[in-house]
């Protein structure tokens, strides 16, 4: 009789087969559970990324600045509130949308959008920023509502400008150079190609009216666009500037800085300040006369968001028409008149400020 046919041997083989199947089942369950656990752990780590990342950076602002930096600790900063990111009933776009569109339409500007730090002064503006997947930072100010439109020179407008100055001082103290830009500035070309690369120049600031000399203190400055390098001199300038807030007698921060410049702060702090030519860094106060050179267009000399949006849409239309021209074309391009902005000064504006 063969051994395989013995009843005891057959029973032993069946037992071994059962044990093998049992081990295989429990082993696969164990490894499956381990895989699931490892996946859950991975998801948990991902969900805590912002917390651990903040701990590594130091705080939320440092993380936001580091993420937006383009190298040499340089960022682009813009400040927005609800009025700049939400459409009203009659509008089809927002100031923020137009601002971002200019980066799409501009020459050499698309990649710069990754280096914008959008500073939101209310929750709606912050939520909109996050929805657009931009680099966002929520700037909180206790007891102040910055949501509504702040009409030029209203009390709330002045308060928001001073809060902005305080925030930018903090950025300088952290060692970051920055271009500050209002969102009513259209970026038609990469401004870094026109800004001076001379690192001894501390501040390069736009002008409402340019008088032909980049070093003349007679140029009428505009704080809606400027490039500042972080160093002890510029930190002292911003501290002196912000320190005038309570003695400003209703002046906006731009006027206070202009007074400081006229009063000798540049010489006192041994600053080098370049005033930017409106051929390149233009605005509604003084249009650039050269479409082939213009870099930014600012809706200055304008009172309301509605007017700015209407006239900036015309600017982008003018720019698109220019871009369609042949390079050899001798056609002299002209800007559409800024009628909405001129009329905005005639229309009384109701405010809460």
Q: Looking at the predicted structure, is the pLDDT value of residue 14 above 60?
A: no
Which among 12-16, 80-84, 312-316 has the top mean pLDDT?
312-316
Q: Looking at the predicted structure, is the pLDDT value of residue 269 above 70?
A: yes
Note down the domain range covering 33: 3-47
269 and 126 part of one domain: yes
What per-residue confidence (pLDDT) applies to 30? 42
118 and 233 part of one domain: yes
Could you tell me if residue 54 is inside a domain?
Answer: no
Could you tell me if residue 53 is inside a domain?
Answer: no
Q: Which of 54-58, 111-115, 327-331 has the lowest mean pLDDT?
A: 327-331
Q: How many domains does the chain have?
A: 2
> Which pTM value belongs to this model?
0.81
138 and 220 part of one domain: yes
Element (DSSP H or E) covering residue 315? helix 305-324
317 and 172 part of one domain: yes
69 and 143 part of one domain: yes
Cα angle, residue 172 at apex, residues 104 and 165 outer, rounded to 5°: 80
112 and 135 part of one domain: yes
What per-residue confidence (pLDDT) applies to 101? 98
116 and 159 part of one domain: yes
141 and 33 part of one domain: no
- Segment 72-92, tens digit of pLDDT: 999 999 999 999 999 877 788
Report residue 74: phi and psi, to 5°: -120, 130
CB contact at 8 A, 258 and 247: no
Q: Looking at the predicted structure, is the pLDDT value of residue 9 above 50?
A: no
Q: Confidence band (pLDDT; 50, 70, 90) for 251?
A: confident
CB contact at 8 A, 297 and 188: yes
What per-residue confidence (pLDDT) applies to 87? 84
Mean pLDDT of 230-256: 92
Could you tell me if residue 102 is inside a domain?
Answer: yes
- Segment 34-43, tens digit of pLDDT: 433 333 333 2
Residue given tokens 């006192």 in the structure block:
268
Give the CATH number for residue 214: 3.90.550.10
Could you tell me if residue 352 is inside a domain?
Answer: no
34 and 67 part of one domain: no
Mean pLDDT of 300-329: 92
170 and 259 part of one domain: yes
Could you tell me if residue 55 is inside a domain?
Answer: no
């Amino acid at each position: 009789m063969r051994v395989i046919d013995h009843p005891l041997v057959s029973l032993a083989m069946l037992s071994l087969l059962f044990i093998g199947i049992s081990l295989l089942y429990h082993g696969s369950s164990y490894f499956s559970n381990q895989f699931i656990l490892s996946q859950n752990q991975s998801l948990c780590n991902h969900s805590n990324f912002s917390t651990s990342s903040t701990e590594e950076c130091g705080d939320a602002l440092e993380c936001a600045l580091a993420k937006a930096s383009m190298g040499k600790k340089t960022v682009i900063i813009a400040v927005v509130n609800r009025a700049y990111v939400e459409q009203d009933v009659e509008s089809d776009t927002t100031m923020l949308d137009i601002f971002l569109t200019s980066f799409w339409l501009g020459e050499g500007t698309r990649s710069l959008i990754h280096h914008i730090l959008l500073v939101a002064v209310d929750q709606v503006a912050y939520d909109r920023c996050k929805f657009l997947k931009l680099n966002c930072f929520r700037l909180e100010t206790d007891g102040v509502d910055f949501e509504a439109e702040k009409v030029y020179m209203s009390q709330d407008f002045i308060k928001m400008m001073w809060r902005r100055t305080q925030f930018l001082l903090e950025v300088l103290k952290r060692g970051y150079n920055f271009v500050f830009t209002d969102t009513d500035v259209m970026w038609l070309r990469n401004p870094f190609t026109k800004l001076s690369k001379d690192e001894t120049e501390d501040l390069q600031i736009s002008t409402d009216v340019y008088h032909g000399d980049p070093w003349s203190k007679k140029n009428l400055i505009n704080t809606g666009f400027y490039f500042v390098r972080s160093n002890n001199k510029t930190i002292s300038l911003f501290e002196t500037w912000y320190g005038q807030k309570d003695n400003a007698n209703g002046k906006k921060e731009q006027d206070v800085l202009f007074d400081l410049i006229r009063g000798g702060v540049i010489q006192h702090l041994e600053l080098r300040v370049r005033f930017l030519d409106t051929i390149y860094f233009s605005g509604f106060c003084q249009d650039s006369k050269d479409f082939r050179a213009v870099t930014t267009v600012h809706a200055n000399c304008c009172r309301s968001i509605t007017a700015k949006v209407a006239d900036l849409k015309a600017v982008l239309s003018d720019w698109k028409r220019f871009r369609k021209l042949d390079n050899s074309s001798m056609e002299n391009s002209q800007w559409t008149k800024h009628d909405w902005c001129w009329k905005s000064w005639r229309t009384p504006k109701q405010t809460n400020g």
